[in-house]
Amino acid sequence: MRAAAVQLTATPDKGRNLETADRLVRAAARDGARLVVLPEKWSVLGPGRALREGAEPLDGPAVVWARGLAAQLRIDLIAGSVAERVPGEEKLRNTCVHIDPAGEIRAVYRKIHLFDVEVEGTTYRESEHEEPGDEPVLTRADGIEVGLTVCYDLRFPELFRILAVRGARILTVPSAFTLATTRDHWEPLVRARAIENQAFVVAANQIGEHAPGLRSGGRSMIVDPWGVVLAMAPDRQTHVVADLDLDQQTAIRRRLPSLANRRPVAYRWPEEAHV
């Protein structure tokens, strides 16, 4: 399977974002990608107010466009994540949508881990305007098991391990990693999730300034189950592609069977984290 990671700079301007996404997804398909991953919040990104104003239900313009394009191009499209307005809920959801080559929604994953942190003096509080999901989601693209995650989830290896144990061979990570955390943490984390789960990781990151004081670091990448970086994006809006050798993955899992050698009976979760 040939996969692509799309890297773009989303802003509160939804029309501009959609035009950029359309251009880059089409370019990825022309390069032969059958699985295309958009970044986190590709349709609108900015401060909390901008997200609330730009949020849509899953039958809104952003997902309708994604469904139409996936059907036209005959691709599996991981439509990154969108700011989802759920009827009856006060807060938004950060929602990843898998759309199949028929234009049908195959899976919906709502980001479990919210980005409530301080990075280089800037405080982020996603929980102020978003509600977390509570269920890992596995889907299938061209008969291959794909695990869905979003951005900050990358720091929680237990989620990726659950997806791998359930059968995921490809893990997707639509993201808007900050400039600082992209610089210091992005590649080590993406490669670690690939190595420890012996899975391909397609990590599509945002790049550039979304609003004053809000920047992402790019370096979108595709990594193989041995941890080798197959493709990495330059510092601009673009896409990267790589061929995912599933036979090679099977051989790696056979020769170094770390998933099979797990001993779940020996693991006990502490009642609380001591930090």
The angle formed by the CA atoms of residues 192, 197 and 199, to the nearest 5 degrees, is 95
Selecting among 40, 84, 126, 131, the annotated active-site residue is 40
What spatial distance separates the first Cα and last Cα of the chain, rounded to whole Å?
Answer: 42
Structural element, H or E, at residue 2: strand 2-7
Round to whole Å and give the CA distance between 63 and 14.
Answer: 12
Selecting among 126, 130, 131, 151, the annotated active-site residue is 151
Residue 91 is among the residues annotated as catalytic for this protein: no
Selecting among 14, 96, 111, 126, the annotated active-site residue is 111
Residue 14 is among the residues annotated as catalytic for this protein: no
| Contacts by 93-97, CB closer than 8 A, 24 or more apart | 93/130, 93/131, 93/133, 94/40, 94/41, 94/126, 94/130, 94/150, 95/58, 95/133, 96/137, 96/148, 96/149, 96/150, 96/172, 96/174, 97/58, 97/63, 97/66
Residue 111 is among the residues annotated as catalytic for this protein: yes
Catalytic residues: 40, 111, 151
